[in-house]
Amino acid sequence: MSYDTLNWSNEDGVVEITMNRPENANALNAKMADEIFDAACRCEAEGARAIIVTGAGKMFNGGGDLAEFDAASDKADHVTRMATILHAALARFAHLDAPLITAVNGSAGGGGFSIAISGDIVLASDRAKFVSAYTASGLTPDGSSTYYLAKHVGLLRAKELMLTNRVLSAEEARDWGLVTRVVQADDLMTEARALAASLAKGPTKAFGGVKRLLDSAFSEGLETQLDRETRSIALMMRTVDGPAGINAFLNKRKPEFRGE
Protein backbone atom coordinates (compact mmCIF):
# COMPACT_ATOMS: atom_id res chain seq x y z
CA MET A 1 0.00 0.00 0.00
CA SER A 2 1.25 3.48 -0.86
CA TYR A 3 0.53 6.62 1.17
CA ASP A 4 -0.03 10.25 0.23
CA THR A 5 1.33 11.83 3.42
CA LEU A 6 3.80 9.19 4.64
CA ASN A 7 6.78 7.25 3.40
CA TRP A 8 6.95 3.64 4.60
CA SER A 9 9.62 0.96 4.57
CA ASN A 10 10.06 -2.36 6.32
CA GLU A 11 13.44 -4.05 6.20
CA ASP A 12 14.36 -6.98 8.45
CA GLY A 13 11.68 -6.09 10.97
CA VAL A 14 12.62 -2.40 11.17
CA VAL A 15 9.73 -0.20 10.05
CA GLU A 16 10.49 3.40 9.11
CA ILE A 17 7.59 5.85 8.90
CA THR A 18 8.35 9.33 7.58
CA MET A 19 5.73 12.07 7.78
CA ASN A 20 5.98 13.55 4.31
CA ARG A 21 4.34 16.94 3.85
CA PRO A 22 7.50 19.05 3.99
CA GLU A 23 5.89 21.93 2.09
CA ASN A 24 3.37 22.18 4.96
CA ALA A 25 5.77 21.58 7.88
CA ASN A 26 4.57 17.94 7.87
CA ALA A 27 1.39 19.25 9.48
CA LEU A 28 -1.20 16.73 10.60
CA ASN A 29 -4.31 16.73 8.44
CA ALA A 30 -7.17 14.25 8.32
CA LYS A 31 -5.45 12.22 5.60
CA MET A 32 -2.25 11.90 7.63
CA ALA A 33 -4.18 10.82 10.73
CA ASP A 34 -5.88 8.08 8.66
CA GLU A 35 -2.57 6.96 7.22
CA ILE A 36 -0.75 6.93 10.57
CA PHE A 37 -3.51 4.69 11.91
CA ASP A 38 -3.15 2.38 8.91
CA ALA A 39 0.63 2.34 9.40
CA ALA A 40 0.25 1.45 13.08
CA CYS A 41 -2.02 -1.48 12.18
CA ARG A 42 0.37 -2.52 9.43
CA CYS A 43 3.28 -2.60 11.91
CA GLU A 44 1.44 -5.26 13.87
CA ALA A 45 0.31 -7.18 10.79
CA GLU A 46 3.82 -7.26 9.32
CA GLY A 47 5.51 -8.24 12.58
CA ALA A 48 7.56 -5.10 13.15
CA ARG A 49 10.27 -5.54 15.78
CA ALA A 50 11.34 -1.88 15.92
CA ILE A 51 9.74 1.28 14.54
CA ILE A 52 11.18 4.67 13.63
CA VAL A 53 8.97 7.74 13.15
CA THR A 54 10.55 10.86 11.67
CA GLY A 55 9.77 13.80 9.39
CA ALA A 56 10.78 14.74 5.86
CA GLY A 57 12.68 17.96 5.26
CA LYS A 58 13.65 20.44 7.97
CA MET A 59 10.69 19.94 10.31
CA PHE A 60 9.61 16.94 12.35
CA ASN A 61 6.00 18.07 12.49
CA GLY A 62 4.60 21.55 13.01
CA GLY A 63 1.29 20.36 14.48
CA GLY A 64 -2.25 20.25 13.20
CA ASP A 65 -3.11 21.66 9.78
CA LEU A 66 -4.95 24.72 11.08
CA ALA A 67 -5.94 25.81 7.57
CA GLU A 68 -7.83 22.53 7.13
CA PHE A 69 -9.42 22.96 10.56
CA ASP A 70 -10.53 26.49 9.67
CA ALA A 71 -11.99 25.40 6.32
CA ALA A 72 -14.12 22.62 7.83
CA SER A 73 -17.85 23.34 7.77
CA ASP A 74 -18.24 21.71 11.19
CA LYS A 75 -14.93 22.38 12.93
CA ALA A 76 -15.73 20.46 16.11
CA ASP A 77 -16.81 17.37 14.16
CA HIS A 78 -13.71 17.54 11.96
CA VAL A 79 -11.38 17.73 14.95
CA THR A 80 -13.28 15.01 16.82
CA ARG A 81 -12.94 12.56 13.95
CA MET A 82 -9.32 13.39 13.25
CA ALA A 83 -8.20 13.27 16.89
CA THR A 84 -10.06 10.00 17.49
CA ILE A 85 -8.26 8.32 14.60
CA LEU A 86 -4.86 9.76 15.53
CA HIS A 87 -5.33 8.69 19.14
CA ALA A 88 -6.23 5.15 18.07
CA ALA A 89 -2.96 5.06 16.11
CA LEU A 90 -0.89 6.30 19.05
CA ALA A 91 -2.54 3.80 21.40
CA ARG A 92 -1.75 0.98 18.97
CA PHE A 93 1.91 2.03 18.79
CA ALA A 94 2.03 2.13 22.60
CA HIS A 95 0.56 -1.38 22.92
CA LEU A 96 2.81 -2.97 20.28
CA ASP A 97 5.68 -5.11 21.54
CA ALA A 98 8.04 -3.36 19.12
CA PRO A 99 9.82 -0.33 20.61
CA LEU A 100 8.98 3.01 18.97
CA ILE A 101 11.85 5.41 18.26
CA THR A 102 10.93 8.99 17.42
CA ALA A 103 13.78 10.58 15.45
CA VAL A 104 13.08 14.30 15.84
CA ASN A 105 14.87 15.88 12.91
CA GLY A 106 13.60 19.44 13.40
CA SER A 107 10.98 21.52 15.14
CA ALA A 108 8.14 19.62 16.82
CA GLY A 109 5.11 21.72 17.72
CA GLY A 110 1.51 20.99 18.73
CA GLY A 111 0.54 17.55 17.52
CA GLY A 112 4.12 17.04 16.35
CA PHE A 113 5.33 17.75 19.87
CA SER A 114 2.86 15.16 21.15
CA ILE A 115 4.01 12.51 18.67
CA ALA A 116 7.67 13.25 19.40
CA ILE A 117 7.39 12.67 23.16
CA SER A 118 5.28 9.51 22.73
CA GLY A 119 8.30 7.51 21.62
CA ASP A 120 9.74 4.76 23.80
CA ILE A 121 13.11 6.27 22.86
CA VAL A 122 13.34 9.89 21.69
CA LEU A 123 16.37 10.80 19.59
CA ALA A 124 16.69 14.49 18.72
CA SER A 125 18.79 16.30 16.17
CA ASP A 126 20.83 19.11 17.70
CA ARG A 127 18.70 21.38 15.49
CA ALA A 128 15.40 20.17 16.94
CA LYS A 129 13.10 22.41 18.96
CA PHE A 130 10.11 21.48 21.07
CA VAL A 131 7.03 23.61 21.80
CA SER A 132 3.55 22.64 22.98
CA ALA A 133 1.97 25.54 21.01
CA TYR A 134 -1.67 24.55 21.54
CA THR A 135 -2.77 27.44 23.74
CA ALA A 136 -1.17 29.93 21.34
CA SER A 137 -4.05 29.03 19.00
CA GLY A 138 -6.66 28.87 21.76
CA LEU A 139 -6.61 25.07 21.86
CA THR A 140 -5.93 22.36 24.41
CA PRO A 141 -3.45 19.52 23.81
CA ASP A 142 -4.15 16.23 22.09
CA GLY A 143 -2.00 13.43 20.73
CA SER A 144 -1.18 11.96 24.19
CA SER A 145 1.00 14.84 25.42
CA THR A 146 -1.05 15.37 28.59
CA TYR A 147 -0.44 11.69 29.37
CA TYR A 148 3.32 11.67 28.74
CA LEU A 149 4.55 15.19 29.44
CA ALA A 150 3.99 15.33 33.20
CA LYS A 151 5.46 11.82 33.55
CA HIS A 152 8.58 12.97 31.71
CA VAL A 153 9.17 16.37 33.27
CA GLY A 154 6.91 16.70 36.34
CA LEU A 155 3.62 18.54 36.77
CA LEU A 156 4.93 22.08 37.28
CA ARG A 157 7.19 21.98 34.24
CA ALA A 158 4.41 20.42 32.16
CA LYS A 159 2.13 23.31 33.13
CA GLU A 160 4.82 25.83 32.24
CA LEU A 161 5.37 24.33 28.80
CA MET A 162 1.66 24.09 28.01
CA LEU A 163 0.60 27.44 29.48
CA THR A 164 3.47 29.61 28.25
CA ASN A 165 4.46 27.74 25.06
CA ARG A 166 8.10 28.00 26.04
CA VAL A 167 10.36 26.68 23.28
CA LEU A 168 12.98 24.14 24.34
CA SER A 169 16.15 23.48 22.40
CA ALA A 170 17.18 19.87 21.89
CA GLU A 171 19.68 20.14 24.74
CA GLU A 172 17.13 21.71 27.08
CA ALA A 173 14.60 19.02 26.17
CA ARG A 174 17.18 16.36 27.00
CA ASP A 175 18.03 18.03 30.33
CA TRP A 176 14.31 18.28 31.19
CA GLY A 177 13.76 14.58 30.43
CA LEU A 178 11.84 14.88 27.15
CA VAL A 179 14.65 13.49 25.00
CA THR A 180 16.71 10.35 25.41
CA ARG A 181 19.73 11.53 23.45
CA VAL A 182 20.77 14.46 21.24
CA VAL A 183 22.87 13.70 18.16
CA GLN A 184 24.35 15.74 15.33
CA ALA A 185 21.75 16.47 12.66
CA ASP A 186 23.67 14.64 9.93
CA ASP A 187 23.96 11.55 12.14
CA LEU A 188 20.34 11.36 13.35
CA MET A 189 18.98 8.73 11.00
CA THR A 190 22.20 6.70 11.08
CA GLU A 191 21.91 6.57 14.88
CA ALA A 192 18.18 5.82 14.78
CA ARG A 193 18.58 3.01 12.24
CA ALA A 194 21.47 1.44 14.13
CA LEU A 195 19.47 1.50 17.36
CA ALA A 196 16.38 0.10 15.63
CA ALA A 197 18.40 -2.68 14.01
CA SER A 198 19.82 -3.63 17.41
CA LEU A 199 16.37 -3.62 19.04
CA ALA A 200 14.93 -5.66 16.16
CA LYS A 201 17.32 -8.47 17.09
CA GLY A 202 16.18 -8.44 20.70
CA PRO A 203 13.47 -10.26 22.69
CA THR A 204 10.48 -8.39 21.25
CA LYS A 205 7.90 -9.97 23.57
CA ALA A 206 9.99 -8.97 26.58
CA PHE A 207 10.26 -5.42 25.23
CA GLY A 208 6.48 -5.33 25.00
CA GLY A 209 6.21 -6.58 28.56
CA VAL A 210 8.54 -3.82 29.76
CA LYS A 211 6.46 -1.19 27.93
CA ARG A 212 3.22 -2.40 29.49
CA LEU A 213 4.68 -2.62 33.00
CA LEU A 214 6.16 0.87 32.88
CA ASP A 215 2.94 2.26 31.43
CA SER A 216 1.20 1.54 34.73
CA ALA A 217 4.11 2.57 36.97
CA PHE A 218 2.49 5.87 37.97
CA SER A 219 -1.05 4.60 38.32
CA GLU A 220 -0.93 1.27 40.16
CA GLY A 221 -0.27 0.55 43.83
CA LEU A 222 2.72 -1.55 44.87
CA GLU A 223 0.88 -4.87 45.30
CA THR A 224 -0.94 -4.50 41.97
CA GLN A 225 2.30 -3.66 40.18
CA LEU A 226 4.05 -6.61 41.80
CA ASP A 227 1.28 -8.90 40.61
CA ARG A 228 1.60 -7.47 37.10
CA GLU A 229 5.34 -8.17 37.24
CA THR A 230 4.72 -11.76 38.37
CA ARG A 231 2.28 -12.45 35.58
CA SER A 232 4.48 -10.78 32.98
CA ILE A 233 7.71 -12.63 33.83
CA ALA A 234 5.80 -15.93 33.97
CA LEU A 235 4.33 -15.18 30.56
CA MET A 236 7.87 -14.73 29.19
CA MET A 237 8.55 -18.36 30.07
CA ARG A 238 5.84 -19.31 27.57
CA THR A 239 7.58 -17.44 24.76
CA VAL A 240 10.36 -18.81 22.57
CA ASP A 241 12.88 -16.16 23.58
CA GLY A 242 12.52 -16.42 27.37
CA PRO A 243 13.74 -20.01 27.83
CA ALA A 244 16.20 -19.57 24.94
CA GLY A 245 17.72 -16.52 26.61
CA ILE A 246 18.15 -18.36 29.92
CA ASN A 247 19.75 -21.32 28.16
CA ALA A 248 22.14 -19.08 26.25
CA PHE A 249 23.17 -17.31 29.45
CA LEU A 250 23.81 -20.57 31.30
CA ASN A 251 25.85 -21.90 28.39
CA LYS A 252 27.75 -18.63 27.94
CA ARG A 253 26.41 -18.13 24.42
CA LYS A 254 25.09 -14.96 22.83
CA PRO A 255 21.31 -15.42 22.51
CA GLU A 256 19.68 -15.33 19.11
CA PHE A 257 16.23 -13.93 19.79
CA ARG A 258 13.38 -14.58 17.36
CA GLY A 259 10.92 -12.08 18.75
CA GLU A 260 8.50 -14.88 19.57
Tell me the per-residue pLDDT of 61-118, one tens digit each, with 9 for 90 and over: 999 999 999 999 999 999 999 999 999 999 999 999 999 999 999 999 999 999 999 9
Contacts 24+ apart (CB under 8 A), 211-214: 211/94, 211/95, 211/97, 211/99, 211/120, 212/95
Model pLDDT, residue 243: 96
**What residues have CB less than 8 Å from 238, skipping those under 6 apart?**
none
C-alpha to C-alpha distance for 260 and 245, rounded to whole angstroms = 12
| pLDDT tens-digit series, residues 165-220 | 999 999 999 999 999 999 999 999 999 999 999 999 999 999 999 999 999 999 99
Could you give the percent of the chain with pLDDT greater than 90? 99
pLDDT tens per residue, range 24-63: 999 999 999 999 999 999 999 999 999 999 999 999 999 9
- What does the pLDDT read at residue 1? 73
Measure the CA–CA gap between 128 and 103, rounded to whole angstroms.
10
Q: What's the pTM value of the predicted model, to 2 decimals? A: 0.96
61, 69, 67, 57: which is closest to 26 by C-alpha? 61
Domains of the chain, by residue range, sit at 6-200, 204-250
110-155 pLDDT per residue, tens = 999 999 999 999 999 999 999 999 999 999 999 999 999 999 999 9
Q: Supply the residues annotated as catalytic.
A: 87, 142
- From 3.90.380.10, 3.90.226.10, 3.90.1150.10, 3.60.21.70, which CATH number describes the 6-200 domain? 3.90.226.10
Residues in CB range of 237: below 8 A, 6 or more apart: 243
Rounded CA separation 109/131 (Å): 5
SS (H, E, C) the chain: CCCCCEEEEEECCEEEEEECCHHHCCCECHHHHHHHHHHHHHHHHCCCCEEEEEECCCEEECCECHHHHHHCCCHHHHHHHHHHHHHHHHHHHHHCCCCEEEEECCEEECHHHHHHCCCCEEEEECCCEEECCHHHHCCCCCCCHHHHHHHHHCHHHHHHHHHHCCCEEHHHHHHHCCCCEEECHHHHHHHHHHHHHHHHCCCHHHHHHHHHHHHCCCCCCHHHHHHHHHHHHHHHCCCCHHHHHHHHHHCCCCCCCCCC
